[in-house]
Structure 1
């Protein structure tokens, strides 16, 4: 894999997301998150749907986001470990030769852009879940290139994502804000959000 391949970036992001999901206590599943439309349980289910559907996209297959996310949390007592397994499969799918080349998905977008969408969800929603459940989120180290790649992706995807209601309007951040805080603010999140 080349430096900063989508698979490398996803691996760095999953290394941060999996411990957050594993540490979600059952008594916080109904708690609010920075994503107003999701409580913790619904956001975990959404993230499951993302990591499964983006495996298909890596293989240049169609994805299905048209249906409601399956309730994996309710259906699987071992959902935390299933999440870790699916996250590992996501990284492997994007590490396959040619996964980040050409175009993929119904919108026929560049594969690298599509991979960046999975990376964004894994990073930002892991932060959402950590905030909602009283955990401290440590972003992937700067050397991994994750946050830098995401800020670049958000700059390109932002206008369309805001029109579609995927991102909120950017929020101003104070001087000295971290790169992660800037990324969160660019997606319309308040980096200082608390439940």
Structure 2
């Protein structure tokens, strides 16, 4: 039986929240595996994704063009509240049915996109700040094929980089990272 997106998001959020809560303000300027983002910018991006995908679940307009500053005040608690709203939005009746977003993608595909962002960006933030992150295995099993299928279009849109070469013995999550263009072995200060 296929797991509901809301259940998968709840599991992913459970793994991402400790990473976000443990980021010190002194780490906000650190480099991340996403070359265009430092920790602060990546947190702002992840907040934007979480908020906009709440709207997409409810078939409302999303605005990815405007990037507010989310990393102010008690942003760690606010991130927890926003991920809880994300889970609730995708748990609403009909959230996984039909299409969502301007591209008219199947709603479940849209849900898998935010699931991938939440999981991969939690890894990015953990790597950048020296935190620990182990993704939920059910999440990895679900997002792996979905992100692989979306990868060609994501590369055209400059959302993913070129696939990073990995060996045959790599983990399923390392393959997910690699399909998005990330080096699973990335460390701060090392060449990406």
Same fold (TM over 0.5): yes
Q: Equivalences for 1:175-194 in 2 at 5 Å?
A: 175-194=168-187
TM-score using structure 1 length: 0.94
Runs of 4+ that moved beyond 2 A: none
5 Å matches for 1:1-195? Answer: 3-67=2-66, 69-73=67-71, 76-140=72-136, 142=137, 145-195=138-188
Contact 2:148 2:176 in 1 (8 A): no
Distance 1:31 1:81 in 2: 21
Mapped to 1, the partners of 2:89 and 2:35 lie a distance apart of 31
- 1:25 CA displacement: 0.8
Q: CA deviation at 1:148?
A: 1.4
Q: Secondary structure at the match of 1:60?
A: coil
Question: Distance between the aligned counterparts of 1:154 and 1:104, measured in 2?
Answer: 17
The unaligned stretches of length 5 or more in structure 1 are none
1:156 deviates by 1.3
Offset from partner CA, 1:102-161 (integer Å, 9 cap, x none): 001111111001111100110000000000000121111x2xx21111111112101000
Unaligned segments of structure 2, at least 5 residues: none
- What is the aligned residue count? 188
With normalisation by structure 2, the TM-score equals: 0.95
Measure the CA separation in 2 of the matches of 1:80 and 1:33.
Answer: 18
**CA distance in 2 between partners of 1:87 and 1:6 (Å):** 13
Deviation of the 1:22 alpha carbon: 0.3
> What are the Cα deviations for residues 68-102 of structure 1, in whole angstroms up to 9, with x where unaligned?
x21111xx320000000000000000000000100
Shift of 1:176: 2.1
